[in-house]
């Protein structure tokens, strides 16, 4: 259930994100989810991709600062209050969220979460009947 | 007005004789009193009797800043400590500062040369001199202070900083002469503008600016904004402090007080003296100092000398504005910074690579130092907070080493240019 997210350090220079996406394209790697956290000098690109180990290797070969980070992904109904309910579960168990990126479409919503203790996060959510996706489900999306 | 016409307008041949006599006295004193110099001279096979005139200067050993550090704190003093009435220390923040000591006569001589410099720059006993150089271990404040008093002017010992108060006193006291670093002068000018005032609201006439390099365009800007004549004063604590040389009204080179400090220009690579007029590294031999006389002290400043008589009537040799340094030292907000200091901080930290780039700029008339640092791959994280903490840690370490504030920019690994030879570590955008 642990998903390997690629985290890439990007300086704020034009064309830098494009270089990453092109490298992945050439290697036949699909990007399932992506977010960029930015500061004035640099950003951190976070991605869930179809083949994280290969992506790590080729980005390293291309001299990017990149690492794999454990995250989890939930699938919840796309309706009012469902995200609130999920976050409430984690909050009650004192599991803090470092960051999250999410998107909804039709009747489903997907959210990638980085919690302090990923396995504990997964366990708690499952106990409360939240759908936590398998890595294979995500990499293939 | 010429403060000491006998000396400042002395016939060049007479000056040579005076220098030669004083030089051989100095050499004999340091040979007998300072083991450091005795050993150096013995190892070169040079003895006091070999030095008869300033033509023999090139037989003498050089002295470097490192020599002063190696003999920290008082190893190069030439008199018993009982004779020393004051010490100053350089802003050098690498480990040990360089310490200089003055006897009562040295302080008197220093006051005399600063009085000459102030007079040369156009000040007189009728002036109010506001000294906005820092008072303390730095030679700027006290150096100007005693010279101002010797001149007979009214000295306002306000020291550096406290800009609002500076302007208030300047207006209330009708200050006529301002002494500080050129960048602080510009900052004062801007604060004046911000307060809705102009040069007409203050009484300044002359500025005595030094302790850091500045450009002719900066001079023009200061002159326009403050409505003054901006004069360059040169000095370094190892040699004496401010007043070693100063601009006259023609602003065409700084007159060196060469009856106390004999200048030479050498090739910084071969260390051979260069013919008059050539540009090279400026070297000083002090010939009257008692506390800490120095033989052929390498200033690392690059300039040239002009021995022609000046339109102002002075015959004292003039040094042109310094064009750079023969080492990689930077002067940032008056503080000496060596890139190697930053390198050693980065080497101590496991999170960073010792690859860095220093970007120096002048923003709103204040020097700004930005340090670009590469992070070790293994410390790469997906969290912004980790980068922020790391950035803070590097900032803190560098600041406590250098003593000035810096901005840290984290960059991608391997993006700072590598080179086989001497790498480009510094980009100085101040265009000095």
ipTM summary value: 0.79
**Alpha carbon of B384: minimum distance to chain A alpha carbons (Å):** 7
Domains, chain A, with CATH or none: 2-69 (3.30.2130.10), 70-139 (3.30.2130.10)
- Does residue B349 surpass a pLDDT of 90? no
Report the residue of A41, A43, A63 to disrupt the B interface, i.e. the one with the largest count of B CBs within 10 Å.
A41
Q: Who among A10, A66, A98 is closest to B383 (CB)?
A: A98
Q: What is the pLDDT of residue B423?
A: 57
pLDDT over 90 at B30, yes or no: yes
Q: Is A36 on the interface with B (CB under 8 A)?
A: no
Residues B213-246: pLDDT tens digits? Answer: 787 878 998 999 999 999 999 999 999 999 999 9
**B154, B174 in Cβ contact below 8 A?**
no
The Cβ of residue A73 has, within 10 Å, a number of other Cβ atoms equal to 25
Chain A nearest C-alpha distance from B362 (Å): 20
Looking at residue A140, what is its pLDDT?
A: 65
Between B366 and A33, name the one with better pLDDT.
Answer: A33
Task: Give B430 or B207, the one with higher predicted confidence.
Answer: B207
Residue B299 in contact with residue B239, Cβ under 8 Å? yes
> Regarding predicted confidence, which is higher, B331 or B255?
B255
Q: B352 or B113: whose pLDDT is higher?
A: B113
Min CA distance, A107 vs chain B (Å)?
30
Question: What average pLDDT does the segment B20-24 reach?
Answer: 98
- Nearest C-alpha in B relative to A12: B411
Q: Give A65→chain B minimum CA distance, Å.
A: 6
Taking one residue from A and the other from B, the number of pairs with CB-CB distance under 8 angstroms is 44
Contact B384 A39 (CB under 8 A): yes
| Backbone angle region of B177, left / alpha / beta, with phi > 0 → left and psi within -120 to 50 → alpha | beta
pLDDT digits (tens, 9 = 90+) for B285-314: 999 999 999 999 999 999 999 999 999 999
Mean pLDDT, residues B385-403: 90
On the question of pLDDT at B196 being above 80, the answer is: yes
What pTM value is reported for the model? 0.72
**Facing A65 at nearest CB: one of B377, B383, B388:** B377
Q: What integer pLDDT is reported at residue B421 of this predicted model?
A: 46
In B, minimum Cα distance to A8 occurs at: B382
Closest partner CB to A44 (pick from B384, B409, B411): B384
pLDDT of residue B141 exceeding 70: yes
Interface check for B414 against chain A (CB to CB < 8 A): the answer is yes
User: Residue A41 is nearest to which of B377, B409, B415, comparing CB atoms?
Assistant: B409
- Give the gap in angstroms from C-alpha B359 to the nearest C-alpha of chain A: 15
Cβ within 8 Å, pair A67-B412: no
pLDDT digits (tens, 9 = 90+) for B73-130: 999 999 999 999 999 997 655 557 899 999 999 999 999 999 999 999 999 999 999 9
Q: Which residues of A touch B381 (CB under 8 A)?
A: 7, 67
Mean pLDDT across B326-340: 83
| B377, B382, B414: residue with CB nearest A44 | B382
Residue of B nearest to A97 (CA): B383
A7 vs B: CB within 8 A: yes
Question: What is the SS3 assignment for A58?
Answer: helix
Bigger pLDDT: B423 or A16? A16
The answer, for B172 touching chain A at a CB cutoff of 8 Å, is: no
Q: Which of A7, A11, A69 sits opposite B412 (nearest CB)?
A: A11
Window from A125-129, B19-23, B419-423 with minimum mean pLDDT: B419-423
- Å between A40 CA and nearest CA of chain B: 10
The C-alpha of B372 sits at a distance from chain A's nearest C-alpha, in angstroms, of: 11
Suggest the residue from B377, B382, B415 to mutate for an interface test with chain A (most A CBs closer than 10 A): B382
Residue partners of B43: CB distance under 8 A and separation at least 6: none
Share of chain B above pLDDT 90, in %: 70
> In which band, very low, low, confident or very high, does the pLDDT at B431 lie, cut at 50, 70 and 90?
low
SS (H, E, C) chain B: CCCCHHHHCCCHHHHHHHHHHHHHHHHHHHHHHCHHHHHHHHHHCCCHHHCCCHHHHHHCCCECHHHHHHCCCCCCCCCCHHHEEEEEECCCCCCCCCEEEEEHHHHHHHHHHHHHHHHHCCCCCCCEEEECCCCCCCHHHHHHHHHHHHHCCEEECCCCCCHHHHHHHHHHHCCCEEEECHHHHHHHHHHHHHCCCCHHHCCCCEEEEECCCCCHHHHHHHHHHHCCEEEEEEEECCCCEEEEEEECCCCCCEEECCCCEEEEEECCCCCCECCCCCCEEEEEEECCCCCCCCCCEEEEEEECEECCCCCCCCCCCEECCCCEECCCCEEECCEEECHHHHHHHHHHCCCEEEEEEEEEEEECCEEEEEEEEEECHHHCCCCHHHHHHHHHHHHHHHHHHHCCCCEEEEECCCCCCCCCCCCCCEEECCCC
What domains sit in chain B, N to C, each tagged with a CATH number? 1-327 (3.40.50.12780), 335-428 (3.30.300.30)
Identify all chain B residues contacting A3, using CB atoms and an 8 Å cutoff.
Answer: none
Q: Is the pLDDT confidence value at B420 over 70?
A: no
Task: Please tell me if residue A46 touches chain B, with a CB cutoff of 8 Å.
Answer: yes
Q: Which of A33, A65, A70, A72 to mutate to test the interface with B (most CBs of B within 10 A)?
A: A65
Q: Which residues of B touch A9 (CB under 8 A)?
A: 375, 380, 412
- The verdict on a CB contact (< 8 Å) between A10 and B412 is yes
- A76 and chain B in contact, CB less than 8 A: no
Per-residue model confidence as pLDDT tens for chain A (141 residues): 899 999 999 888 888 899 999 999 999 999 999 999 988 888 899 999 999 999 999 999 998 889 999 999 999 999 999 999 999 999 999 999 999 999 999 999 999 999 988 999 999 999 998 999 888 887 765
Q: Nearest residue of B to residue A41 by CA position?
A: B409
The whole-angstrom distance between residue B228's C-alpha and the CA centroid of its chain comes to 23
Closest CA–CA distance from residue B338 to any residue of chain A (Å): 25
From A114's Cα to the closest Cα of chain B, the distance in A is: 10
Question: What is the average per-residue pLDDT within B343-355?
Answer: 80
């Amino acid at each position: 259930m642990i998903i390997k997210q690629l985290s890439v350090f990007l300086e704020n220079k034009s064309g830098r994100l494009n270089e990453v996406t092109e490298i992945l394209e050439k290697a036949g790697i699909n990007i399932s989810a992506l977010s960029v956290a930015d500061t004035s000098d640099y950003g951190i690109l976070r991605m869930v991709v179809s083949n994280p180990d290969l992506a790590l290797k080729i980005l390293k070969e291309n001299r990017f600062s990149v690492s794999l980070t454990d995250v989890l992904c939930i699938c919840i109904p796309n309706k009012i209050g469902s995200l609130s309910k999920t976050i409430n579960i984690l909050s009650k168990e004192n599991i803090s969220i470092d960051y999250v990126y999410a998107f909804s479409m039709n009747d489903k919503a997907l959210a990638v979460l980085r919690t302090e203790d990923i396995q504990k996060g997964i366990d708690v959510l499952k106990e409360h009947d939240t759908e936590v996706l398998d890595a294979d489900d995500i990499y293939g999306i | 007005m010429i403060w000491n016409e006998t000396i400042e307008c002395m016939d060049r041949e007479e000056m040579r004789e005076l220098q030669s006599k004083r030089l051989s006295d100095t050499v004999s004193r340091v040979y007998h009193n300072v083991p450091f110099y005795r050993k150096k001279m013995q190892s070169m096979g040079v003895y006091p009797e070999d030095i008869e005139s300033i033509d023999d200067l090139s037989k003498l050993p050089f002295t470097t800043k490192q020599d002063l550090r190696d003999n920290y704190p008082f190893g190069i003093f030439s008199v018993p400590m009982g004779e020393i009435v004051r010490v100053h220390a350089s802003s050098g923040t690498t480990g040990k500062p360089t310490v200089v000591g003055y006897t009562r006569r040295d302080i008197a001589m220093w006051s005399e040369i600063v009085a000459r410099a102030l007079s040369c720059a156009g000040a007189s006993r009728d002036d109010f001199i506001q000294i906005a150089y820092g008072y303390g271990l730095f030679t700027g404040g006290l150096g100007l202070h005693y010279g101002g008093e010797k001149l007979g002017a009214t000295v306002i010992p306000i020291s550096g900083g406290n800009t609002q108060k500076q302007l208030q006193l300047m207006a209330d006291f009708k200050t006529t002469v301002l002494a500080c670093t050129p960048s602080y002068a510009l900052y004062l000018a801007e604060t004046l503008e911000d307060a809705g005032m102009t040069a007409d609201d203050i009484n300044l006439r002359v500025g005595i600016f030094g302790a850091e390099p500045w450009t002719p365009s900066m001079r023009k800007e200061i002159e326009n904004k403050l409505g003054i004549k901006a004069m360059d004063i040169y000095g370094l604590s190892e040699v004496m402090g401010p007043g070693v040389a100063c601009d006259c009204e023609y602003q065409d080179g700084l007159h060196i007080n060469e009856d106390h400090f004999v200048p030479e220009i050498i090739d910084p690579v071969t260390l051979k003296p260069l013919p008059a007029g050539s540009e090279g590294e400026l070297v000083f031999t002090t010939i009257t100092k008692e506390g800490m006389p120095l033989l052929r002290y390498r200033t690392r400043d690059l300039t040239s000398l002009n021995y022609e008589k000046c339109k102002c009537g002075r015959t004292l040799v003039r040094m042109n504005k310094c064009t750079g340094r023969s080492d990689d030292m930077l002067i940032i907000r008056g503080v000496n910074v060596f890139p190697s200091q930053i390198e050693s901080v980065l080497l101590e930290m496991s999170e960073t690579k010792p690859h860095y780039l220093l970007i120096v700029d002048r923003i709103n008339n204040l020097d700004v130092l930005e340090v670009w640092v590469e992070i070790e791959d293994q410390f790469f994280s997906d969290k912004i907070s980790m980068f922020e903490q790391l950035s803070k840690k590097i900032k803190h370490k560098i600041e406590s080493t250098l003593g000035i504030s810096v901005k840290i920019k984290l960059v991608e690994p391997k993006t700072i240019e590598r080179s086989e030879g001497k790498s480009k570590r510094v980009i100085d955008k101040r265009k000095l």
